[in-house]
Amino acid sequence: MKKLIKEPLLHFLAIGALLFAVNAWRSSKRPAEVNGPRIEVTAATIGRLCAGYERQFGQGPDAAELRGLVTAHVREEVLCREALALGLDRDDSIVRRRLAQKMEFLTDDVTSAAPPEEAAVERYFAEHAAVYAKPGQVSFRHVYFSKEKRGAKAGTEAAECLAALARGASDEAMGDAFLYGFNFAEREKNDVTALFGQDFAKQLAVLPAGAWQGPVESSFGLHLVRVDARSEAAPAKLSEVRAAVERDLNDERRVTANREIYEKLRERYEVAVDEAALAKSAVSKTAQR
């Protein structure tokens, strides 16, 4: 049975059945006309109402509460059917968006019915190995020179301190106070970029380790930098990132299935766009500025 569920052919059959159901719905009358005055509150509906109540309140409803849920459900069903019969859904963007989402949820149910095969997981991981690689890290220390405080002298004073450091001077009493500290251990490039800016991160990536360099400019000012250690990006093992790979693969499968079903449904329609009105109504980027 597991092998059968994983068969791609079964997925296509399920999608075909979904399209058939959609076609049948499109060909039918309005819900109030199809179902007539009868509203059935089935065991499945009652189970769904109980489950929703339990998620919200942490316990199941008692008899009176459940009766109230059923009464509310019937009221909602009556008003919904009458609203659809009157066509109130036609010009409501929120209702239309919600209905479109529910159609996509149907596709999600089809694609998530069976877990991906191991071969598919391995193939997806190999194709996206760079995404799951362990990023490189850098450990460094810096001396900060505030342009706001030192003005035009910041560059000259930074150069003088660099020369002193090269002669063996201590950096402890040099530079200005820096809000985020002076030692940064095992930081990824994204972390460095977020704090110091993209230009600083790029320059830091090519600085040799073991000696004071600079000055390097950041969004804060000037820095003398000593890189203490650097590790390069390393490929990840599938066993280490399997959960993320399976999640991303399932997301891709859902997107693909939704696109394929939409394209099949789209073939049923002839779309006519008033191109003149479209061109007239579009606001140019220049006008917006």
pLDDT tens per residue across all 289 residues of the chain = 454 445 454 555 565 555 555 555 554 544 444 445 788 888 888 988 898 899 999 888 888 888 888 999 888 888 888 888 878 777 778 888 887 887 777 766 666 656 788 899 999 999 999 889 888 899 999 999 998 888 889 999 999 999 999 988 988 889 999 988 999 999 998 899 999 999 999 999 999 999 999 899 998 999 999 999 998 888 889 998 999 999 999 888 888 888 888 788 778 878 787 778 777 876 655 555 5
Position 9 in a domain: no
Position 126 in a domain: yes
Let me know whether 241 and 120 are in one domain. yes
Alpha-carbon gap, residue 173 to 150, rounded angstroms? 16
Position 27 in a domain: no
* Token pair in block for residue 26: 């499109």
Q: Among 193, 213, 231, which residue terminates a domain?
A: 231
Position 288 in a domain: yes
Let me know whether 211 and 151 are in one domain. yes
Q: Which pLDDT belongs to residue 141?
A: 94
Q: 228-263: string of b/e by CB count within 10 Å (b at 16+)?
A: eebeeeeebeeeebeeebbebbbeebbeebbeebee
Q: Which pLDDT belongs to residue 1?
A: 46
User: How many domains does the structure of the chain reveal?
Assistant: 2
What is the residue range of 174's domain?
135-231
Position 75 in a domain: no
Let me know whether 227 and 254 are in one domain. no
Position 49 in a domain: no
Let me know whether 155 and 279 are in one domain. no
Let me know whether 144 and 284 are in one domain. no
Question: Of 264, 86, 232, nearest to 95 (Cα)?
Answer: 86
Let me know whether 287 and 150 are in one domain. no
**pTM of whole model > 0.85?**
no
Q: Among 189, 215, 231, which residue terminates a domain?
A: 231
